[in-house]
Structure 1
Amino acid sequence: MSTAKIKLSVLDQSPVRKGVSARRAIEETTLLAQETERLGYHRFWVSEHHNTTSLAGSTPEILIAHLANHTKTLRIGSGGIMLPNHSALKVAESFRLLEIMHPGRIDLGMGRAPGTDRITASMLNPSNNFSEQDFVVQLQDLHNYLHDSPEEGTIQTKIKAIPIAETVPQQWLLSSSGQSALFASHFGMGFSFAHFINPHGGPQAVQYYREHFKPSIDLPKPEENVAFFVFCSEDEEKVKQQEALMSYRFLQLEKGGGLTSVGWEDIKNVTYNFAEQERINANKPRMIYGTPDVIKEKLTKLALDYDVNELMAVTITEHFEDRIKSYQLLADLFL
């Protein structure tokens, strides 16, 4: 695969940096969308997280409307809507309205995980049984609502998702395992593998999706991408610091203490025991960090390993200007 064919996209989590407000985090997401549009990025997805003060993106459908209003050509979407937190009808109506306002630019990326802890998830949707079968039913119901094609004999024959739209948002399933590859191929949706969550088994999941894909009314052939944590800088010391900060964040999550916003000065003297160092080493493949020459080699290999032509970058930095610069350097390498 030629690097000239690689499309770059963004998955943004609206990180709340140390010392700034959630309002500023959303402003930075907006500025990043505008800059990556200027640079030629293909799509810009925003995430759904709950019960954490370090990420501001709790309601992607609202943020998508805002970002689409502040951009012109960039595809804007969710990465993702955590479907078990919502009713299929509500998701269909939200994204139909987005599609009407911005036809041909909206992506509906969906995940099966709650995007939070189990207790919070049960508060978001008290009827959530975390059931795989329920998820499959939701996907079928969503398809029926988006296409006004209720199954005969069901209550859906009495319900329409409004407003009625002439076009349908592009639908994607997000996954950090192979399970959703089966669902995405069965329903004829796009498939996005979260390498930044699980760096193992991704190429096999994408291959399974591609081999078992069933064309749908929305997508005639398979479409896939892979998302990864990336940071690119010409300053090797800055690369080391950002990698250390992300390693610290991973440990925070794994210890169940929740994420807090920290800077280099907060963690530069932290020491780790053997078990913690083992976890840091295990998490390193989730991150593609380095100077431009290193990044180009690593990302080219990643695209070849997955056999995809779209790479989706997730970048969290201590300083916003470093986040912007990283995306600019990536564009210089591939766009």
Structure 2
Amino acid sequence: MQQIKLSVLDQSPVRKDANARQAIEETTLLAQHTEKLGYHRFWVSEHHNTDSLAGSTPEILIAHLANHTHRIRLGSGGIMLPNHSALKVAESFRLLEVMHPGRIDLGIGRAPGTDRITASILNPANNFSEQDFIAQLNDLGNFFHDIPDQSNMNGKIKAIPVAETVPAQWILSSSGQSALFAAHFGMGFSFAHFINPNGGPQAVQYYRDHFKPSADLSAPEANAAFFVFCSEDEEKVQQQSALLAHRFLQLEKGQGLGKLGYDDIRDVQYTPAEQERIDYNKKRMVNGTPDQVREQLTSMAAAYQVDELMAVTITEHFEDRLRSYELLADMFL
């Protein structure tokens, strides 16, 4: 097993008693902090119609973060492609690549990053079709490489600015289906274990077995993303785990994520069915003291056969978020 690389997937969470401006400031500080710690890449997400996550427009946030960092790779985790036109995505990321060559990742997702009603307003032409997604991926590659294609009027439409390099392209998935797309188009593949704790290693293996080299990627490249929280304080670990589990349960009930603290949920009593869901959702998390987290993440890297793990960390207090990433760096970097 090679040395494990650590990366960050940040959702710009809006903490209780905080606002979106503070959330973006904290994302910026976290990018700077993890760069100093030696993290490999920093991805930001696309979410809509929620007041608990501030990251709605990754391409704008990436530009901001690139101007406040120096080395760390920056990208989307991800751009929800059905919400956009392929041309617009190609132009946004070509511009990012021109401004910050060799540092930009385009992570692409198929999910809407919101509810279906909001998704239909973001893109009224979105019919959530698999074939449409495949066509968009094909168009995106053509725009990045200035390849004439019937879908863009035989090459009369170009994605500008013209760039000398192409951003690294990844498919993000929480199921095995998108592994086929990543393999077929010769893109990187990132499995969202933090969304679905089942089937990830099999999806990554399928991707490797069926990978076709592309102009941008000659060999398969994969990573896996987990909710991670690490602390020397066992009580803090327990509280963080309980709070995140409660937020997942809220989301599954259609109540949104909510901006909550541990004191808001400490005395909540759950039904047997709710407790069953809480126990299941804990499989999406890697929480514990440094020794516990090291053992779990090392095991996960071996199961996935990847040398890069992405950590998604949401905490009640920002300093705990920073400290968790410090402890991870102490273990692996």
- Does residue 326 of structure 2 align to residue 328 of structure 1? yes
Partner of 2:178: 180
| Pairwise CA distance, 1:259 | 1.5
Aligned residue for 2:56?
A: 58
Q: Secondary structure at the match of 1:172?
A: strand
In the alignment, is residue 260 of structure 1 matched against residue 258 of structure 2?
Answer: yes
> Partner of 1:291 in structure 2?
289
- Matching of residue 212 in structure 1 with residue 220 in structure 2: no
Number of the residue aligned with 1:277: 275
TM-score w.r.t. length of structure 2: 0.99
Report 1:9-28 matches (<5 A): 9-28=7-26
The amino acid that maps onto 1:163 is P
**Counterpart in 2 of 1:106?**
104
CA distance, structure 2, for counterparts of residue 271 and residue 54 of structure 1: 24
Matches within 5 A, 1:27-106: 27-106=25-104
Closer, same or farther in 2 for the Cα pair 1:150/1:293, shift >3 Å?
same
2:106 is paired with a residue of what secondary structure?
strand
> Aligned partners of 2:282 and 2:47: how far apart in 1?
23
- State the Cα deviation string for residues 191-250 of structure 1 (Å, max 9, x = none): 000000000000000000001100000000000000000000000000000000000010
Q: Which residue in the other structure is 2:117 paired with?
A: 119
Deviation for aligned residue 1:301: 0.2
**Whole-Å Cα distance in 2 between the matches of residues 45 and 11 of structure 1?**
5
Q: CA deviation at 1:156?
A: 4.6
How many angstroms apart in 2 are the aligned matches of 1:157 and 1:185?
26
**CA deviation after TM superposition for structure 1 residue 153, in Å:** 7.9
Structure 1: 5+ residue stretches without partners: none
Deviation, structure 1 residue 257: 1.1
For residues 70 and 16 of structure 1, do their structure 2 counterparts lie closer, same or farther at Cα, with a shift above 3 Å needed? same
Q: Measure how far apart 1:154 and its partner are.
A: 5.2
| Residue matched to 1:301 | 299
| Residue equivalent to 2:246 | 248
- Is 1:162 matched with 2:183? no
Structure 2 runs not aligned, ≥5 long: none
* 1:230 corresponds to which of 228, 231, 235: 228
Residues 312, 156 of structure 1: alpha-carbon distance in 2 compared, 3 angstrom cutoff: farther
Structure 1 residue 158 displacement after superposition: 1.1
Code of the residue aligned with 2:145 in structure 1: it is H
Kindly indicate whether the alpha-carbon contact (under 8 Å) linking 2:243 and 2:261 is maintained by their aligned counterparts in 1.
Answer: yes
Q: Which residue of 2 aligns with 1:190?
A: 188
- The alignment partner of 2:311 has SS state of strand
Per the TM alignment, residue 152 of structure 1 is displaced from its structure 2 partner at its CA by 5.3
Q: Tell me which residue corresponds to 1:136.
A: 134
Task: Measure, in 1, the Cα distance between the counterparts of 2:315 and 2:154.
Answer: 46
**Percent sequence identity over aligned pairs:** 77
CA distance in 2, matches of 1:154, 1:296: 49
Q: Which secondary structure state, in structure 2, belongs to the residue aligned with residue 121 of structure 1?
A: helix
TM-score (normalizing by structure 1): 0.98
Q: Distance in 1 between matches of 2:44 and 2:154?
A: 30
Report the RMSD for the aligned CA atoms in angstroms.
Answer: 0.8
**Residues 139, 151 of structure 2: 8 Å contact kept:** no
Shift of 1:150: 1.9
| Residue 157 of structure 1, CA deviation | 1.5
What is the CA–CA distance in structure 1 between the aligned matches of 2:300 and 2:75, rounded to whole Å? 23
- The residue identity in structure 2 corresponding to 1:57 is G
| Cα distance in 2, alignment partners of residues 284 and 154 from structure 1 | 46
Amino acid at match of 2:197: P
Q: Which aligned segments of 4 or more residues in structure 1 are displaced greater than 4 angstroms?
A: none
Give the number of aligned pairs: 333
CA distance in 2, matches of 1:15, 1:115: 14
CA distance in 2, matches of 1:320, 1:197: 22
Cα distance in structure 1, aligned partners of 2:16 and 2:193: 26
Amino acid at match of 1:91: V
Displacement of 1:258: 1.1
Task: Specify the code of the residue in structure 1 equivalent to 2:207.
Answer: Y
CA 1:156/1:235 → structure 2, altered by over 3 Å: closer, same or farther? Answer: farther
